[in-house]
Amino acid sequence: MKFSLAWLRDHLETTASVEEIADTLNAIGIEVEAIEDPAQKLAGFRVAKVLTAEPHPDADKLHVLSVDAGDGQPLQVVCGAPNARAGMLGVLGLPGAVVPANGMELRKSSIRGVESNGMMCSVRELELGEEHDGIIELPEDAPVGSSFADYRGSEPVLDVAITPNRPDCMGVYGIARDLAAAGLGALKPIVVESQPGTFPCPIEIRTDDPHGCPAFFGRVIRGVSNGPSPDWMQERLKSAGQRPISALVDITNYLMLAYGRPAHAYDLARLSGAMVARKARDGEQVLALNEKEYTLDSSMTVIADDEGPHDIGGIMGGEHSGCDENTTDVLLEIAYFDPEKIASTGRKLNLTSDARQRFERGVDPAFLETGIDLLTQLIRTICGGEVSELVRAGAPPSQPRIVHYRPVMAETLGGIAVPEVEQKRILGILGFEAVGETAELEQAWAVTVPGWRPDIDGAADIVEEVIRIHGLDKVESVALPRADGVALPTATPQQKLERRVRRAAAARGMHEAVTWSFLPESEATAFADEQNALWILANPISEDMKAMRPSLVPGLLSAARRNLDRGANGLRLFEVGRRYLRGEEGASDERPTLAVVLAGERQARGWATGKAVAYDAFDAKAEALAILGEAGAPVANLQVMGEAGPQFHPGQSATLRLGPKNVLARFGMLHPTMLRAFDIEVPVAVAEIYLDSIPAKKGRETFARAPYAPSSLQSVTRDFAFLVPRDLPAGDLLKAVRGADKANIVSVRLFDDFRGAGVPDDGKSLAVEVTLQPGEASYRDEDLKAIAGRITAAAGKLGATLRG
């Protein structure tokens, strides 16, 4: 939110400098993001008088001006403005000045062969408005040679960040109130005159949606003249980043920015019948002021007449009922809308506005009548007109909120002993009314919360108000007490496990990603287990963050797509986080998980390798097995089974299980439909490891490696080539061979898979290397033959025979 120092001083009587104001705002919790000084942008621009204006000798639309910049020596300037003429006063940018609109530095130059010493400037070039058809024309009494910034009287502009819990500071008056409480001046009272009507309101006003719009106040002003707003108001709006439009529109914007109270003005001639706050009908459409058409539903509140809706209630007005230069009769609307309804409607329509920001945070429900009187007063002063009687349809929430607060809590909870007198002063200026109660409540106060502070809910919030205004810097730093002795470990076994697998994944050359725990509902549905319902948020950050993720893979795929779109050839990403499933009877179920995404090229093209090599399912399997091994899972006992899920390629994916039901991981190539859904054009291999499914270690938890103790006897390797059925998984053969003699066989490795000449059409040849390790004595020939026999017999149970 932006506002000028002059605007702040309209509401705060202070002599503080802009630096002191900024320091105080930061100290009381209103962060100042920037201080803009328009005078700095206008450095190098002077008030100048055009002495002569002659046609350019080599350009029909250019003039050669002789300009007096106050130095006694006329300067020659080439200008293309149609209003440039002798005797006029304008603004001259001297060489070295920087044009605010485009950042161009002016310098002495030659234009069509004629020397030019600077530039005569337009309103748009100095970012003072939108006019650009000609150069600025100043009054005849403007002092020639003076700095244009000094002549114009530019004020510094503060840009502050307002946290969502402080809707009272969404207006300049609210910020002035906080500064007054902090001792930086005196808050000026709101001066408003009662605006009695001289004729009955000619249009019916009512609310048929008491939940969405509990209160709708309105009145008509006829005979107005809607020209430009006064210069002082335009300056205020420009400092806030608003573009002045017309007096009626500017006045409503001024009320919103000054007091945080949105309002709207309708051209009465464009309305038909009664103006009603009601629920929208499914399929109704509104062409809003941003020139976009929105389709509404019955959960939304609109302001409508007999012809249809004119306003998306509390968010944005309609295009066809707005005021323009021909407006003579105007209907003023100021209403109170339910914050939750406003937030829900804004999200559904993906529509943001200044009004929505204020209504969904919570405006002061008691400011309706004061607000419409201020609005009426400004319009009558600037535009004239005759005022009707005020119509009050419905009533805003008016139940006072009272918080029981003990002054001693400032010390016990906030850490500062603030005198009671000071506490009452602070609360009083902030708008709270503190009244002492009986001693039975330990000198408690009954604190009435003002309507503009919907964030105050309990005594702790009162402590926060007192401490932040008194000074957060006065809270002493006190070390927490520490017990004697060595501190006990605080990490849980699950945290230690996640640390191990995170390090293991990073050590294998993968990059860790951290993605949102929320997904678009479509992506969450695509990766949800059909046996578990999704968690859908009732109040999401946005429609694209509506569902809690049932898998970590969608977030990683989005991250992979962003990197691939920016030129990455190959990606190795992993994430450790939580999946969120709906448990039994709707209970929340969080599952610790590690996901891996391998996308694009595993190996770049080269003279030795030829074409680039893409990642495949076996790469994902290798990563899953390596991480499971580091996590302490019994990798040798894992079974490779199908049913990885519809998100995976059915012929290039599988699961790793301990038994038929305990799934430790799934891996494989992503299904082409998933790749299209995420707009990815390269193959993607994925592994998802379920850390909560890894069986816990029995006894004392330890993952330290056993000491390295090699045998003094030489190991022996033997190769076996088996003819097996074509549909037999190689993993089943390896497991059978490994189990044939556990005392002697230390490893089994597949090194060949052959299908072709000499092999039956319904079979394949699998060659394995078996490593044997003798224990107490070297192997004899009969020992090796016995082991080979056991290996052949174990393989034979799977239908395997030795290949001749």
Binding residues for Mg(2+): 455, 461, 464-465
What gap in Å lies between CA 222 and CA 248, rounded to an integer? 12
**Residue 668 forms beta bridges with which residues?**
653, 686
What gap in Å lies between CA 593 and CA 280, rounded to an integer? 44
- CA 296-301-305 angle, to 5 degrees, is 90
Tokens 């009707």 locate to 388
H or E element that contains 251: helix 247-259
First-to-last C-alpha distance (Å) of the chain: 84
Phi, psi of 385, rounded to the nearest 5 degrees? 110, 170
User: β-strands 518-519, 89-93: how paired?
Assistant: unpaired
Residue ranges of the annotated binding site are: 455, 461, 464-465
For 97-142, give the DSSP string. Answer: -B-TTT-PBP--EEETTEEE-SEE-BTTTTTS-S--SSB--B-TTS
**Residue 580 forms beta bridges with which residues?**
590
Q: Phi-psi category of 112—alpha, beta or left, where left has phi over 0 and alpha has psi -120 to 50?
A: left
Decide: 167 and 454 in contact? Cβ < 8 Å. Answer: yes
User: β-strands 275-279, 205-207: how paired?
Assistant: parallel
- CA 422-445-173 angle, to 5 degrees, is 55
- CA 162-167-168 angle, to 5 degrees, is 100
Q: With both helix axes pointing from N to C terminus, report the angle between 231-239 and 247-259 in degrees, rounded to the nearest 10.
A: 50
For 494-556, give the DSSP string. Answer: HHHHHHHHHHHHHHTTPEE----SEE-HHHHHHT--TTS---B-SS-SSGGG-EE-S-SHHHH
Nearest alpha carbon to residue 264 among 217, 225, 194, 195: 217
Decide: 429 and 479 in contact? Cβ < 8 Å. Answer: no
What gap in Å lies between CA 675 and CA 553, rounded to an integer? 12
What gap in Å lies between CA 752 and CA 712, rounded to an integer? 31
Decide: 592 and 494 in contact? Cβ < 8 Å. Answer: yes
Total Cβ atoms within 10 A of residue 278: 17
Q: Is 6 helix (H, G, I), strand (E, B) or coil?
A: helix
- 3-state SS, one letter per residue, for 425-476: HHHHHHCCEEEECCHHHCCCEEEEECCCCCCCCCHHHHHHHHHHHHHHHHCC
Phi, psi of 530, rounded to the nearest 5 degrees? -65, -15
Residue 395 neighbours by CB under 8 Å, 6+ apart: 214, 215
